[in-house]
Structure 1
Amino acid sequence: MREPILQKWYLASQSHIDGLKLEAYLAELGSLVLEKGWEGKMRRQVLGAKMKVGQTFADWACDTQNINAILSQAASTFAVDDKQLKNILDAGLVLQQDLDTEPVLSSDLNAWIAEVKGCDDHLRFKATRMQTLINANRESLHSKTKGKVGLADRLTTLKPSLASRLSSPPPVTVQKCPPLTDGEKTLLDLHNGCRRCRQFYIGHRTLNCDGVFPDAATYRTLTQADAVVQAAARGKTLKVKREPATAAHTKSKDILSMDYEESESDPDGYVLPPLTVPHLYVDVTLSGPSISEFPIPVCSLLDIGCPSIVISDKLATKLGLRRYPLPVEEDNLSLLSESPLSCQEYVKLKVSSGDGNWTSSVVRAKVNVGLCIPLILGMPFLASEHILIDPEQRTAVDKRTGFNLLNNPSYPPRQWKPEWVTPPPTPKKPKHKPLEQEPIPFSRSTELPVSVMLDVKNRIDELALQKLLQDEDARLKTKHADVFPVRLPDNTDDLPDNILH
């Protein structure tokens, strides 16, 4: 009676419940707590009991008996007797083949369960012992071979060179740091920097630099702000000299051409910050019911000062997102000029990174008509996704996974195969002339070689034998012309029909 619903039920009908007998009380309590048709579900669970692979017979039989016992006490008409339960357990066994070899003849349910349990324990003991012997044999063979490869392994194992080509991923091209621009070189020279490690006021130059090039994945173009920050980290302060008043009407000069003064005795260590810092834009992908193929890329704004997530009406229509009416009290956005930013609806969406390695949970965004940017990710998004923004490093890191939304890892460019070049045609094999057409070889001596003379003699003997055979063939055909007719008859109509065999 510790459940809240049971306490409410008892307080509502306390006098009625106190007057009930135990059977009536249990029946009324069961109708309140148990779901409708629970007896049929438990009966089907008993009838369809099946022993799982790896499960012991004792545990499975005990669970099935417990369910049947509950039915016997609460709904006896749905329970099965011991004979039916024995047949159900016999049909659901997974060691049926072993029992066919050594059948269990007990008719009593408990005796049958005990006998089958003994068979199951014996089979498990044999399987464990066999696995132990296999492991011991494998370890002994491994210790005897001492690194030697058997014949079966040599036949089935690929060669190291072929296996490495098949299993290892394609070689990744190392991305090199981009070369310095003229502006970066001037900035490094102006602030005593090194063109190799690309740091300001480091105390050395390129010739005596012991460092390495910056990481190409995280490298960004050097700016005056980097020089100011590194100078402050090394105890130096940069101050911009004042321009004359007439220079205000001239074209603004490049920041690299400005003159700076170093001051190591400034008591407050003040460093002039930049006048303008770019917004934090992140490239994300969005999807919706209207997008049938790949998600569409969207440039969104990370705004720590916006109290809501805002999406433009045009983008929400393009994605086909379902719109919900926005509560009146949530229509509370306004611009810096204190003019209201009307929102009447909101949508639900998921935000994914450009490479697809990071996906947010479902967030709600207010829909605004005429929003100047497709999507503004305000404080609700940053708080729910645990995004930590560092304006100095320009990072937006998920504290749970360490994924940086603003600096996704760059991937090497795709390497295309070279264009197919048609190979030159295969040269034709030279045709050899017959021996009769070959010119007579030049010989300085008047006598032929012995090998040539033997070939000539053998050829003469072959020709003489062929001539002799042809003459003998002609003589025999002439002598026995009646036996060898010149032409056979075309049909058998004129043959005699009075000859019996």
Structure 2
Amino acid sequence: MSSAQSLIARCENTTPGKTPPFLTAGDITPEGLHSWELGCENYFWLKSVAEDVQVAKVVGHLLDPHVQDWISNNGDRLTALTFAEFMDEVRTYWLPSDWAEAIQQKMLSSTQGNKAFHLWAVEVESLNVLLRGSEFHLTEDHLRFHLESHMHPDLTAEYRLTAARHKKRFRAWLNLVRLLDEKRIHDATKLDAALRKKPFQPSCSVNTTASNSKAPDGRARTRPPALTVEERQLLRDNSGCFKCRCLFQNHTMHNCPNDFPEAKNYKVLTAADVEAAKKKRTKPVAAVIEEEPAAKRARITEVDDDTDAIAVVMPSAALGDGTDSGEEYVAPLSVPHLRWSCLLEGPNLTFPLSVKVLIDSGSHLVLIDESLIAKLGLRRHQLHKSLNVSVALSSGDREVMSLGNYVTLSCLSSDSRFRSRSVRAIIAPGLCTPLLLGLPFLSHNKLVIDHALRTCISKDTGYDLMNPPGSVCSPSPVTPSVQAVKKIKGDVLAVAEELTKRDARLKVEFADRFPADIPPTDALPDDVLFRVQPKDANRVIQLRSYDCPKKYREAWK
């Protein structure tokens, strides 16, 4: 057994039903304490133990030395309690003050993901059982709402088309959703198996006399002979179609709008046909533009092959100064960056940190700033080979920066419906954004960006990072009028006056709870739970952080 497991208190019972269970020494968790409580209640029921002696029967089965010391100091008071009151005392004293909030947060942030629905529902209900009797316990209606809003997207689409959502009883509803999820998993398995099969490949040999298509006038059409190796090569080199066998086309065999050529008048393609097709193509019209000054031209500098450029800046492609052509043909001078508000987790955080990250499809790296690493507390790793990078804009010699460390992280959407796969982010000191998600993040998570629509959609789930479901665009700010401001100010003053009156009435009604002075200190409890008695209270303890040589030991005494 590892040392990490030995630090957690566990519920054990070598003779179930005959003796109460034991809670081993270690850190007490809500799960372990709940298991021990259930074992004790089962023992009380089997042995018909009276309520007034239940605590005395099991109090010695808490084996942690610190808990035993606490019981020894409060033995008379604890044994006089009922078992339910005793468990409340144990939870209040030995569990963190926010243990119920932490369990509720863990429960409400969970999603189905790729799990089966019934297994995920059991996990959520198990966490909710730990909160029974507290204000954080969820009712069946709240549980149903959480399960509905965090189930698998494919299951959600199937669920909305059925009558399962109209079921009143919670258990009947769970059973129907479980059946829908099993159907979803079965269909996904069949689809995956079909995709894994070898696709159908038609035979290369074609019967030249077979009549398998018809001409527009209804006459039977026969296919031409099969393409030769030379013909196939000519079609590949000159954007040809293997079906209609035309050169310089913008379609392929799979989406060809034409039919096969007639076998009667068919001629084998040659290099002469390629030259003739080139001459028939529409000649492009050359646009005369003013030559750009030398300062605006793109300067190409030879850089070592081991150095990568993070960004590239090129001159404008607009005609002239951009005013000679119509507005509809001029590209915008700049477009806002794609910034995604996501949540990041780390050892230093109790709750996820909201960060606005930059999505850049032109960066071949995922970069992170050192300040964000310090907030998250992520572990640094050393690259096997350092990366040399440089910026695209520089004066004189290009400054090369060496990056040698990285961290591993995963991003979570603000609504907790999308979690990315873990990626390695290179640590870049002085980065202009907390986190830059480049091509490794996009390709590893199968994300497709539409720059015109400003969308970033996952191919697996259809989730749009830039436009999450249910998001509403914020309206443009409206400046209120003077009358509206006065009305709002009057309403605020009226509410403040009403609150002041209610405060005065509450203080009068509960005057005994609002004394004029704090209670005297002699009325405070003086119970001492633990006391450390030093051997010599007047002795001054002198410590040094390093070993003292023998010749100087006398001076230290």
TM-score by length of 1: 0.28
Give the greater-gyration-radius structure (CA): 1
